[in-house]
Amino acid sequence: MRIQTGRGTIPLITLVGIWSISALNALPGLAVSPILGKLTEIFPHATELDIQMLSSLPSLLIIPFILLAGTLTQKVNFIRLLQIGLGIFALSGILYLLSNKMWQLIAISAMLGVGSGMIVPLSTGLITKYFTGAYRVKQFGLSSAITNITLVVVTVITGYLAEVNWHLPFVVYLLPLVSLVLSIYLQRSMISEGNTSLNSSSQTAKAGDDIIDAEVTASKYGIHIGRLTQVMAFYGLTTFLVLIVVFNLPFLMEAHHFTSGNSGIMISLFFLAIMAPGFLLNQIVGFFKERTLFYSLVSIAAGLALIWISPSEWLIVPGCILTGLGYGVIQPLVYDKTTQTAIPEKATLALAFVMMMNYLAILLCPFIIGFFQSLFHIHSQEFPFVFNLVVTLLALVWTYKRQSIFLFRISSK
């Protein structure tokens, strides 16, 4: 079976290989989360800093290695770089299973961040290499859906495995071995397509490729810095806005004396809602056109408002779903928009800068909320949702007034 790309066809096994890499983007940190509460029992001499490093070090190291991988794609064999990243990722999984000391877990977490960071921009870079036009938008949507469904499924699995043995959740970090095998088919596919060097710089225009904007072609670095900055800022902001559901919803539910165990279900629904638009992305864009991102922000605002004012935990459900649906449309559209900010051989580097904003938002979100709580001397559990709702409404006003800028223009497919 062969899959249409907009410039030809590729074997289904090649697409499965690309999807498998998208699934890995959800893994960093998932195996550690279910055992965080047990770490002080497992390692009685571990400090609070040790535990914080174990959970945050992967995200911290992912950021520079995303940028490094994006830069190296211009000079290094693309598939070889992918295989190195997958190898480091899988090796960290093996070492996690063998480790019995806190310092070992921390060191391996750093290795996990390196491997994960190297493959993050390559997952979207491969979609850019193979697909164009509406086919590319569809694949970005599916890639986002796969990442989020993997997150939900693996979260449940690691939770059960942690009950058996604290080492077992780390088994999920062996999944890169599957992608390593599939990378062989990716390499064969690239060779059969005539791209024997497998370097990003070797891309040439083909029938069906998108027309490159003259402003992008004329830009000094092959990347339109102004447009890329727009996309990065918007993606970082929207990621920050919705992360509050993951970080603060359990505390809000506890403050309202709701069933604390249900917060996990609510967060799972949030991630499932992010997944859903990926299967209908072209139809959604076709219906809303230039207003797509605006209405996505409306959905996020409505969701945050429902979570904030809800007198019942079951009314939080539509709030989580609406917030997730809005972000589920924004994420893949941002990736597609990023490809329009650069010439083809610089597209993966541009994607690296944009995807970095996701992990930057994860790291900064608690500090930003904490800063404004201290500034306004408000420490209620509702404050993060009110604050993000206000920011979302301000973003809505800005978005409505700036519909003509590059970020919101929908190109014809």
Least confident of 31-35, 104-108, 287-291: 31-35
Q: Are residues 152 and 251 in the same domain?
A: no
Q: Is residue 275 part of a domain?
A: yes
Domain total of the chain:
2
Q: Are residues 171 and 293 in the same domain?
A: no
Q: Is the pLDDT of residue 404 over 90?
A: no
Q: Are residues 247 and 101 in the same domain?
A: no
| Predicted pLDDT of residue 118 | 94
| Predicted pLDDT of residue 48 | 80
Least confident of 41-45, 87-91, 352-356: 41-45
Q: Are residues 119 and 245 in the same domain?
A: no
Q: Is the pLDDT of residue 156 over 60?
A: yes
Closest CA to 199 of 344, 9, 406: 344
Q: Is residue 265 part of a domain?
A: yes
Domain range for 299 is 225-408
Three-state secondary structure call for residue 212: coil
Between the CA atoms of 188, 193, 199 and 201, what dihedral angle is there, to the nearest 10 degrees?
Answer: -170
pLDDT digits (tens, 9 = 90+) for 234-282: 999 999 999 999 999 988 888 888 776 688 889 999 999 999 999 999 9
Q: Is residue 216 part of a domain?
A: no
Query: Which pLDDT band holds residue 216 (cuts at 50, 70, 90)?
Result: confident
Once rounded to an integer, what is the mean pLDDT over residues 66-79? 90
Q: Is residue 278 part of a domain?
A: yes
CA separation for the pair 120, 117 (Å, rounded): 5
Q: Are residues 157 and 266 in the same domain?
A: no
Once rounded to an integer, what is the mean pLDDT over residues 94-108? 93
For the entire predicted model, the pTM comes to 0.90
Least confident of 95-104, 195-204, 274-283: 195-204
Q: Is residue 90 part of a domain?
A: yes
End-to-end CA distance of the chain: 25
Q: Is residue 378 part of a domain?
A: yes
* CATH code where residue 142 lies: 1.20.1250.20
Instruction: Out of 141, 169, 192, pick the residue that ends a domain.
Output: 192
**Which range has highest mean pLDDT (36-40, 78-82, 205-209)?**
78-82
